[in-house]
Chains A and B, each alone.
Chain A
Amino acid sequence: MTRLFALILALLALALPVSAQQGPLRIEITEGVIEPMPFAAPSFVPVNADAKEIGEDIASVVAADLVSTGLFRQIQTASFISGITSFTSPVEFADWKAINAQALITGQISTNGNQLVIQFRVYDVFAGQELGNGLQFAGTTEGWRRMAHKVADAVYTRITGESGYFDSRIVFVSERGNKGDRSKALAIMDYDGANVQMLTDDSNLVLAPRFSPSGDRVLYTSYETGFPRIYLLDVGSASRRVLEEQPGSISFAPRFGPDGNTVVYSLATNGNTDLYRMDTTGTGRVRLTSSPAIDTAPSFSPDGSQIVFESDRSGSQQLYIMPATGGQAQRISFGAGRYGTPVWSPRGDLVAFTKLNKGRFHIGVMRTDGSEERLLTASFLDEGPTWSPNGRVIMFTRETQGSSGQASLYSVDITGRNLQRIRTPYGASDPAWSPLQ
């Protein structure tokens, strides 16, 4: 009886007018939806005949970049009611509204010999307005793909409010052969797997390449001398030199500091592995840890004030944070299992890591104080995360099980969605994402 009475009261309250409103009707929206935003990217209008084909290619790459984020959905050309025949004509928003395009990207291409000029605009279709100002890029026809990535970055930034990552590159270890007899070489490619180029041959085992903050140099570990040594490679000239060569020791797991002039790495002497830092000139070496445990995989915070690393000083492999000058380290990982290969997010708010628990490997993220741990992947072997320049995507190595198992590169959004394989000509591991170029 009481419930019936309450139900009647509730229905009455819903049906009765609320108190007399003063001013506008006020509504609060607290829940929405998360879905890819549908957009239309018609072929960029060619100013001259030579630009027609390249205009289609550029629009295609721009669309592929946006779709690969999982945040956008391309509306197929066959659905278009009208096309864009002139870059300067007003947009018929009704035609794009009718196919539910929320964003519209229009562009114009002109070529003059080897020179290429791209002009483009982004529209909010339902508002009937242009988003921001139109932009123009100029370059060479050989660099059309990179220019398309730049257009995509601009569109992404304009719609999402955060910087893009399409005009970036990945340095990684290219692997050939079976598991037991695998040759490895350094390679570099665009973020989407295009334009693969080898940086070293596969005569020596190479490991863990890391980009400099400016993207022009790479640190890596090579067994060229029979022992692991840290090398510094200039990406433009492919020239290299040994950075750390202390007799009777092995050095590995290097990573640049945010200033680009400091390197932090692991050095093993007399069976003990500790963290050190030095200048990129190979001088000014400073020992940062001195524990009997294995301290390795260091990574600077974006401001350079702290270092996150892995250590088994507690008896199992865990994550620790300490000042960049060394000192008291604070453990931040307390979950079940073992943690390793921590990498500080470019935004500074998260640490990505590899986790081994109950026989499964995971890529995960946690706050820098160890809270809000979130596992993003799970497989037979996932390891070695690296952050996209905007801190939105993580790329890592996934290896399949069995003697014929292959290593591949995968990327995943920090929400755990949009897991994608990056196609490479051969097996690939140990990716490191460059900054935005």
Chain B
Amino acid sequence: MNAGTYISGTVHIGLIGWLLVGDVFRSAPQEPEITDVSVISATEFDALFASSAAPEIDVNLAQMPTPPTEDALDQPIQLSEDVAPELTDVSDPDLPQEQESMPDITGLQILPDAEISLEVPTMAAPSFEVGPDVEIDDSPEDKPRDAPRVAPVPFLRPDQDVAVDDTVAEAAAEVEAAEVTVEDTQAAAPEEATTEIVTEAETPAGAPTSVPVPRLRPQPNPALAAPDPSPEPPKPDTTSSALAAALAEAEAVEEPPASVQESQIPLGPPMTLAEQESLRVAVSACWNTGSLSSAALRVTVVVALQMAESGRPVTNTVRLVSSTGGEGDAITQAYEAARRAILRCGAKGYDLPQEKFGQWRDIEMTFNPEKMRIK
């Protein structure tokens, strides 16, 4: 168990726990607002709104006093004695004491209680016409067609017309069959070629266990390649540079992981789903099933490999672990297509987190062609 495992476990347990007992942290639902209402009669309703009726507006502007001009405003205001306010001595005892007088209520009539009918009027159901049933045609022809699974990069179509021999024999002629014989006694293949896939489990006991280093291009003899004491500065050649870069990339040798000490491999936390998905998509882009036979397209293969720390697959560690759905050549073709996918898209290195090298150094990829079969 490592730190990553503890972190993963803790976070997952916390997440699950929160989902299970999350209600504890949820606030109580708010009480709904209730408003008291009372039922009033139509008469009361009219009386209620009568007092608040809009006032009548006198629209006769001619009777309105003319506002004073600025000159008039400059004149001192002269108070007239005629308009002096009449002051009243509030201490006069003859004045009626309004606060103490009781209202005369003898003339009031008690309104009868409003009659409330408890019968709820029945609302007539709205009438509407029901349209005819619409048949949804769910036939395959009307369904949107699946996006064709084609190459993401267009390619030139081959010449459609094959060459025709110019000479035509007008009369019936005997057709001579070419004398072709297969000389199976002379094996032209190098000895390392094999018709069998030997998995790691089937490796003989005497086989070398270390990972061989891929052959590099022959280096020039150091004695012959002595440096010129006054070398001319090389002329920039973009074509050569590009070619050299391409070759260097293609020649790049992946580091054999077997030489790395186990303790030096950064294990890191487990791969996230997003990181795994990224790798899956990258390999899918190179898994070309177009040239596979229908028999090979029925075979699911599990391929194991080791990755170098650079993210490149180590070529000679790619091996077939198991297969289902076929036998013989079909398995071989399915495995080879899977191997091509892994190696081709991994030539520049897969985008994998370096700190988790220990998590993705050993990979098993299952290639399931069920969706790629010829329909």
Q: Does B40 contact A (CB under 8 A)?
A: no
A139 and chain B: residue at smallest CB distance:
B180
- Rounded to whole angstroms, the CA-CA distance of A14 and B162 in the bound complex is 52
Q: Does A199 contact B (CB under 8 A)?
A: yes
Partner-contacting stretch, out of A33-41, A242-250, A274-282, A291-299: A33-41
Number of A-B residue pairs having CB atoms within 8 Å of each other in the complex: 312
Q: A16-B8, A124-B340, A425-B164 are contacts. A142–B178 as well, Cβ < 8 Å?
A: yes
- B243 near A24 (CB under 8 angstroms)? no
- Rounded to whole angstroms, the CA-CA distance of A419 and B158 in the bound complex is 11
- B290 near A34 (CB under 8 angstroms)? yes
By a CB distance below 8 angstroms, the chain A residues around B172 are 197-201, 238
Q: A133-B188, A238-B173 are contacts. A30–B371 as well, Cβ < 8 Å?
A: yes
A115 and chain B: residue at smallest CB distance:
B179
Q: Does A13 contact B (CB under 8 A)?
A: yes
A391 to chain B, nearest CB (A): 9
By a CB distance below 8 angstroms, the chain A residues around B12 are 16, 19
Interface 1/0s, chain B 1-43, versus A by CB < 8 A?
A: 1101101110110010000000000000000000000000000
Q: Does A95 contact B (CB under 8 A)?
A: yes
Interface 1/0s, chain B 140-168, versus A by CB < 8 A?
A: 00000000011111011011111111001
- B362 near A25 (CB under 8 angstroms)? yes
- B193 near A132 (CB under 8 angstroms)? yes
By a CB distance below 8 angstroms, the chain B residues around A421 are 160-161
- A27 near B276 (CB under 8 angstroms)? yes
- Rounded to whole angstroms, the CA-CA distance of A30 and B300 in the bound complex is 10
Q: Does A137 contact B (CB under 8 A)?
A: yes
- Rounded to whole angstroms, the CA-CA distance of A246 and B81 in the bound complex is 152
Partner-contacting stretch, out of B59-67, B83-91, B267-275: B267-275
**Other-chain residue from B151, B168, B369 in contact with A425 (beta carbon distance below 8 A):** B168
- B179 near A140 (CB under 8 angstroms)? yes
- B188 near A27 (CB under 8 angstroms)? no
B151 and chain A: residue at smallest CB distance:
A35
- Rounded to whole angstroms, the CA-CA distance of A226 and B339 in the bound complex is 63
By a CB distance below 8 angstroms, the chain A residues around B151 are 33-36
Q: Does A378 contact B (CB under 8 A)?
A: no
- A161 near B295 (CB under 8 angstroms)? yes
Instruction: List CB contacts (< 8 Å) of B222-249 with chain A.
Output: 243, 246-247, 249
**Other-chain residue from B163, B168, B336 in contact with A131 (beta carbon distance below 8 A):** B336
Instruction: List CB contacts (< 8 Å) of B317-371 with chain A.
Output: 318, 329-330, 332-333, 336, 338-341, 343-344, 347, 359-360, 362-371
Interface 1/0s, chain A 118-139, versus B by CB < 8 A?
A: 0111001011111111111111
* A: interface residue count bin: 35 or more
**Other-chain residue from A124, A130, A198, A374 in contact with B171 (beta carbon distance below 8 A):** A198
- A29 near B293 (CB under 8 angstroms)? no
Partner-contacting stretch, out of A65-73, A254-262, A397-405: A65-73
- B188 near A136 (CB under 8 angstroms)? yes
- A26 near B366 (CB under 8 angstroms)? yes
A28 and chain B: residue at smallest CB distance:
B366
Partner-contacting stretch, out of B92-100, B104-112, B127-135, B278-286: B278-286
- A24 near B175 (CB under 8 angstroms)? no
Q: Does B138 contact A (CB under 8 A)?
A: no
Q: Does B289 contact A (CB under 8 A)?
A: yes
Q: Does A94 contact B (CB under 8 A)?
A: yes
- B168 near A197 (CB under 8 angstroms)? yes
By a CB distance below 8 angstroms, the chain B residues around A136 are 182-183, 186, 188
- Rounded to whole angstroms, the CA-CA distance of A37 and B291 in the bound complex is 7
Q: A18-B8, A29-B365 are contacts. A194–B175 as well, Cβ < 8 Å?
A: no
- A159 near B291 (CB under 8 angstroms)? yes
- Rounded to whole angstroms, the CA-CA distance of A226 and B172 in the bound complex is 22
Q: Does B296 contact A (CB under 8 A)?
A: yes
By a CB distance below 8 angstroms, the chain B residues around A24 are 304, 362-364
Of B2, B295, B333, B341, the most chain A CB neighbours within 10 A belong to: B333
- B170 near A21 (CB under 8 angstroms)? no
- Rounded to whole angstroms, the CA-CA distance of A30 and B2 in the bound complex is 32
B371 to chain A, nearest CB (A): 6
- Rounded to whole angstroms, the CA-CA distance of A12 and B14 in the bound complex is 12
* B: interface residue count bin: 35 or more
Q: Does B114 contact A (CB under 8 A)?
A: no
**Other-chain residue from A137, A420, A425 in contact with B181 (beta carbon distance below 8 A):** A137
- A27 near B164 (CB under 8 angstroms)? no
Interface 1/0s, chain A 220-247, versus B by CB < 8 A?
A: 0000000000000001111000000000
Q: A19-B8, A33-B152, A94-B251 are contacts. A161–B332 as well, Cβ < 8 Å?
A: yes
- B333 near A160 (CB under 8 angstroms)? yes
- B193 near A420 (CB under 8 angstroms)? no
Instruction: List CB contacts (< 8 Å) of B191-241 with chain A.
Output: 192-193, 195, 214-215, 217
- B272 near A17 (CB under 8 angstroms)? yes
A235 and chain B: residue at smallest CB distance:
B175
- B272 near A30 (CB under 8 angstroms)? no
**Other-chain residue from B149, B177, B366 in contact with A27 (beta carbon distance below 8 A):** B366
- A21 near B270 (CB under 8 angstroms)? yes
A235 to chain B, nearest CB (A): 6
By a CB distance below 8 angstroms, the chain A residues around B271 are 17-18, 21, 25
Q: A161-B329, A194-B164 are contacts. A130–B280 as well, Cβ < 8 Å?
A: no
Q: A92-B217, A140-B178, A421-B161 are contacts. A31–B284 as well, Cβ < 8 Å?
A: yes
- Rounded to whole angstroms, the CA-CA distance of A276 and B134 in the bound complex is 51
- A193 near B163 (CB under 8 angstroms)? yes
By a CB distance below 8 angstroms, the chain B residues around A128 are 214, 315
Q: List 18 A-B contacts (CB under 8 A).
A: A13-B273, A20-B5, A20-B9, A25-B276, A26-B363, A27-B364, A29-B280, A29-B366, A31-B284, A127-B336, A143-B179, A161-B332, A162-B293, A194-B164, A196-B164, A236-B175, A374-B375, A424-B164
Contacts A20-B2, A98-B247, A146-B180 known; 18 new A-B pairs at CB < 8 A = A15-B274, A16-B272, A18-B272, A24-B362, A27-B366, A29-B287, A34-B372, A90-B215, A124-B339, A127-B339, A127-B340, A134-B187, A134-B190, A139-B178, A160-B292, A197-B169, A198-B169, A374-B375
List B residues at the A interface (Cβ < 8 Å).
1-2, 4-5, 7-9, 11-12, 15, 149-153, 155-156, 158-165, 168-183, 186-190, 192-193, 195, 214-215, 217, 243, 246-247, 249-251, 269-274, 276-277, 279-280, 283-296, 304, 315, 318, 329-330, 332-333, 336, 338-341, 343-344, 347, 359-360, 362-372, 374-375
